[in-house]
Amino acid sequence: MAEPNSLIAHLIELRGRVLKAVVSVFVVFLCLVYFAQDLYHWLATPLLDTLPENAQMIATDVASPFFAPFKLTMVLSFFIAIPVVLFQIWGFVAPGLYRNEKRLVAPLLFSSTLLFYLGMAFAYYVVFPLAFSFFTSVAPEGVVINTDISSYLNFVLKIFFAFGLAFEIPVAVVLMCWTGVTTPDKLRAKRPYVIVGVFVVGMLLTPPDIISQTLLAIPMWILYEFGIVIGGIYTRKKEEQEPQDEL
């Protein structure tokens, strides 16, 4: 059982690191808030480029023109500050890890951040143009497409989170292999079920069109296979390290 003084010291350190993480997000927000309107226009570009002639985005709520860009800036500030937030988490948990655990966790923190960013970039540059083109092309005759800015923001943020989390599959696979929950061979044997599963997840996390569902499912499958390869490498290293630790 930890001593009271030790527990208080840990709580003080935790408070300091949480404060640093919050301050980092706030600093990024201060740097971006002036460009809030430009940032929202950048976010809306994939939709604006596919809207029919004379169609435009609208604001159905009185405060939407202010709060929608403000909300986007807050969320974007957190996304940008994620490396600092993860660094603070790493600084808090690292002293309690063994050397071999540190060799695993540090690369995973870096790769998880990179994969999350890649998932968001894939959604913005690949999925959005194709999905919005599909949505606007299937609008019934006589229907004018005027998307509300708040509804659009909520929609794209959900897609960003969906693709960002989906791109974390290799990290999850590596962790499962490293902790002994499963093995690369067992994961390969479950490949048919995984293929069906990723398409089901794609159906649940994306709009009801086959394009965006497939664009999420296929990268998830590829990342699953990539995770198995990396998990096999980490597992072999762990097996080689254990005899050395016993000597």
Name the pLDDT band for 239 (thresholds 50, 70, 90): low
Name the pLDDT band for 26 (thresholds 50, 70, 90): very high
Asked if the model's pLDDT at residue 243 lies above 70, the reply is no
Name the pLDDT band for 105 (thresholds 50, 70, 90): confident
Structure tokens at 218: 């296929």
Structure tokens at 59: 């604001």
Q: Tell me what pLDDT residue 223 has.
A: 87
Nearest to 29 by CA among 69, 66, 89: 69
**pLDDT, mean over the chain:** 82
Question: Which DSSP helix (H) or strand (E) runs through 178?
Answer: helix 169-179
pLDDT tens sequence across 184-203? 888 888 888 888 888 888 77
Interatomic CA distance for residues 223 and 228, integer angstroms? 9
Mean of pLDDT values over 34-46: 93
Nearest to 187 by CA among 174, 198, 168: 174
Asked if the model's pLDDT at residue 220 lies above 90, the reply is no
Name the pLDDT band for 1 (thresholds 50, 70, 90): very low
pLDDT tens sequence across 58-91? 888 888 888 999 999 999 999 999 888 888 887 7
Please give the DSSP secondary-structure letter assigned to residue 35.
G
pLDDT tens sequence across 136-187? 877 777 777 788 999 999 989 988 888 888 888 888 888 787 777 778 888 8
Percent of the chain with pLDDT over 90: 22
Contacting residues for 107 by C-beta, under 8 A, at least 6 apart: none
Asked if the model's pLDDT at residue 3 lies above 70, the reply is no
CA–CA distances in Å: residue 239 to residues 100, 104, 178: 12, 14, 10
- Residue-wise over 164-188: b if at least 16 C-beta within 10 A, else e? bebbbbbbbbbbbbbeeeeebeebe
Termini Cα distance of the chain = 30
